[in-house]
Chain A
């Protein structure tokens, strides 16, 4: 536990002491800000009863931010340490592989959450200028963040796994970007399909991340996507752990 906490703090320091961390946050904030520009223009043209978070989700910037930033966040986790050799000094201290994987995942999740926090002031701004108290509903904001975090945890665990596979940050980023895009494509295909009849269809239909995220941003928390995304995250963390352990059985 102590090692986990020490490592998590160290990883977070790595994010916030390097320029790359701020560049990622700046890029995310830029996209968020731009999406709100688009959103406000839309709202001026036609008022809508939808929650602001849902309007934001409909601008499509949401997916762009999630899919583009997660590989940037995760690429350094293992690949950088393997490249610089500090992975060896790390793994020869009495910390377990599980502690290392969990610490890196936690740090990436914390950074990802911090990166998304500017969404809150954006919502406040809309509420402030529209003078509509319904524009910012804490419940909807919370469920939106839950959705963001769950989707992020899936992509970050995927990125951890990709980063553990290689010494090159670029390759790690490429792999996780490809997988992230793959998840997006799968969700898109699932979305396009007619109502499922076969069991394969049912399996694929459970991947309709678009609908699931749509629920979250509307303030609906369905347990099915929570379980799906949570268990997928656990699965990829398990894979990461295996990859990290693999140096001992190669």
Chain B
């Protein structure tokens, strides 16, 4: 559905996207993951024909986004970052206007507006003025707009930013539902979001693609040597002795916590999960334990991890 080859975008004096290539198959939900300024929005703007690439080619459904821009735009539903809307318009009026702009006939646009209003849960507010709606509803209006002309590909730039947890959940549900009949490309800087909604994740950092894989594989890759935190009530010296004895532990740090407990941060050797070992150990010794967690890797750790080999190469 999407074929991006050697895509580069330079603004005056700055390279926003450099030599990026990836493909998205029909029916996939793919997440573009990366921190702010990683080049996600720029990539999406090029895909949606708003900006032109400096070099490289982008094809959507086999059509070139620069040369056959009109055809491509007919096939895309795009919701930009921050979801800009005409705040003075009413929901239904806005969706009808957008449907007409996207080339639907009067009759067809009425039908489609009915369908997407229902699909996005906007029926109750369809006569309200957009400016008076909550952020969650506005987001749905943006989504409904992206869907109204039945595009093959839906591009959503940070669709859940600034929403409360309940709203995030409902928007994610909606996106997951879309995956059944559409190809979806979303961008986010929140890893769990990509995990929940996407079949595949492309990690971008500093204009480049660092990794592209299923969320499970990435998570596995990242958690292979993630830290384990254990809070155990035991004499400090004995605890230290235990960690030194345990061959799986590469590094540890013991610090006093509330009450008699000590907080131990343990880094395992590559590929090991320390938790069963620790549990066995405290059971043997009869020490009370009140916490045993493996720290989940935040996106930041992933960047650090994926970027580290480069730094070593340079060093």
Chain A interfacial positions (CB closer than 8 Å to B): 2-3, 6-7, 10, 13-14, 17-18, 84-86, 88-96, 247-250
With A and B bound together, what is the CA distance between A165 and B88 in angstroms?
24
Is B242 close to A, CB under 8 A? no
Is B103 close to A, CB under 8 A? yes
With A and B bound together, what is the CA distance between A91 and B49 in angstroms?
8
Is B194 close to A, CB under 8 A? no
Which chain B residues lie closer than 8 Å to A6 at the CB level?
Answer: 97, 100-101
With A and B bound together, what is the CA distance between A94 and B82 in angstroms?
21
Given contacts A7-B101, A248-B51, contact A96 B70 (CB under 8 A): yes
Report the count of interface residues on B (CB-CB < 8 A). Answer: 32
B52 x A3 contact (CB < 8 A)? no
Known: A6-B101, A86-B85, A94-B73; 19 extra A-B contacts, CB below 8 A, are A2-B100, A14-B86, A17-B88, A85-B84, A88-B50, A89-B78, A89-B79, A89-B145, A91-B50, A92-B48, A92-B76, A93-B98, A93-B102, A94-B74, A94-B101, A96-B70, A247-B50, A247-B51, A250-B11
A93 x B101 contact (CB < 8 A)? yes
**Which has the most chain B C-beta neighbours within 10 Å: A17, A84, A91?**
A91
B1 CB to closest chain A CB (Å) equals 17
With A and B bound together, what is the CA distance between A146 and B50 in angstroms?
38
Select one of A14, A18, A84, A92 contacting B78, CB under 8 A.
A92
B88 CB to closest chain A CB (Å) equals 5
With A and B bound together, what is the CA distance between A102 and B232 in angstroms?
73
Given contacts A91-B50, A92-B76, A247-B50, contact A86 B86 (CB under 8 A): yes
A88 x B73 contact (CB < 8 A)? no
Select one of A89, A90, A92, A250 contacting B49, CB under 8 A.
A92
Which chain B residues lie closer than 8 Å to A90 at the CB level?
Answer: 101
With A and B bound together, what is the CA distance between A248 and B66 in angstroms?
9
Chain B interfacial positions (CB closer than 8 Å to A): 11-12, 45, 48-52, 66, 70-71, 73-74, 76, 78-82, 84-89, 97-98, 100-103, 145
Which chain B residues lie closer than 8 Å to A91 at the CB level?
Answer: 49-50
* Pairs across A and B, CB under 8 Å, 19 listed: A2-B103, A6-B97, A88-B50, A89-B79, A89-B85, A89-B98, A89-B145, A90-B101, A92-B49, A92-B50, A92-B80, A93-B73, A93-B98, A94-B74, A95-B101, A96-B70, A247-B50, A248-B52, A250-B11
A10 x B97 contact (CB < 8 A)? yes
B50 x A94 contact (CB < 8 A)? no
Interface of B is mostly: loop
With A and B bound together, what is the CA distance between A93 and B99 in angstroms?
9
**Which has the most chain B C-beta neighbours within 10 Å: A2, A88, A95?**
A88
A14 CB to closest chain B CB (Å) equals 7
**Which has the most chain A C-beta neighbours within 10 Å: B11, B81, B84, B102?**
B84
With A and B bound together, what is the CA distance between A89 and B148 in angstroms?
13
B84 x A89 contact (CB < 8 A)? yes
B155 CB to closest chain A CB (Å) equals 9
A94 x B103 contact (CB < 8 A)? yes
With A and B bound together, what is the CA distance between A247 and B86 in angstroms?
22
B35 CB to closest chain A CB (Å) equals 21
A17 CB to closest chain B CB (Å) equals 5
* Closest Cβ neighbor of A90 among chain B residues: B101
Which chain A residues lie closer than 8 Å to B70 at the CB level?
Answer: 94, 96
With A and B bound together, what is the CA distance between A2 and B106 in angstroms?
10
A186 CB to closest chain B CB (Å) equals 34
* Closest Cβ neighbor of A6 among chain B residues: B100
B312 CB to closest chain A CB (Å) equals 37
With A and B bound together, what is the CA distance between A17 and B87 in angstroms?
11
A88 CB to closest chain B CB (Å) equals 5
Which chain A residues lie closer than 8 Å to B88 at the CB level?
Answer: 14, 17-18
With A and B bound together, what is the CA distance between A248 and B11 in angstroms?
11
Which chain B residues lie closer than 8 Å to A247 at the CB level?
Answer: 50-51
* Closest Cβ neighbor of A91 among chain B residues: B50
With A and B bound together, what is the CA distance between A88 and B50 in angstroms?
7
* Closest Cβ neighbor of B70 among chain A residues: A94
Which chain A residues lie closer than 8 Å to B101 at the CB level?
Answer: 3, 6-7, 90, 93-95
With A and B bound together, what is the CA distance between A249 and B51 in angstroms?
8
A246 CB to closest chain B CB (Å) equals 10
* Closest Cβ neighbor of A18 among chain B residues: B88
A85 x B80 contact (CB < 8 A)? yes
3 smallest beta-carbon distances between A and B, as pairs: A85-B84, A94-B73, A248-B52
B45 x A88 contact (CB < 8 A)? yes
A81 CB to closest chain B CB (Å) equals 8
B288 CB to closest chain A CB (Å) equals 55
B258 CB to closest chain A CB (Å) equals 48
With A and B bound together, what is the CA distance between A84 and B86 in angstroms?
8
With A and B bound together, what is the CA distance between A250 and B76 in angstroms?
23
Which chain A residues lie closer than 8 Å to B87 at the CB level?
Answer: 84
Select one of A7, A85, A95, A96 contacting B82, CB under 8 A.
A85
A88 x B84 contact (CB < 8 A)? yes
Which chain A residues lie closer than 8 Å to B51 at the CB level?
Answer: 247-248
With A and B bound together, what is the CA distance between A86 and B71 in angstroms?
21
**Which has the most chain B C-beta neighbours within 10 Å: A17, A89, A250?**
A89
With A and B bound together, what is the CA distance between A121 and B159 in angstroms?
53
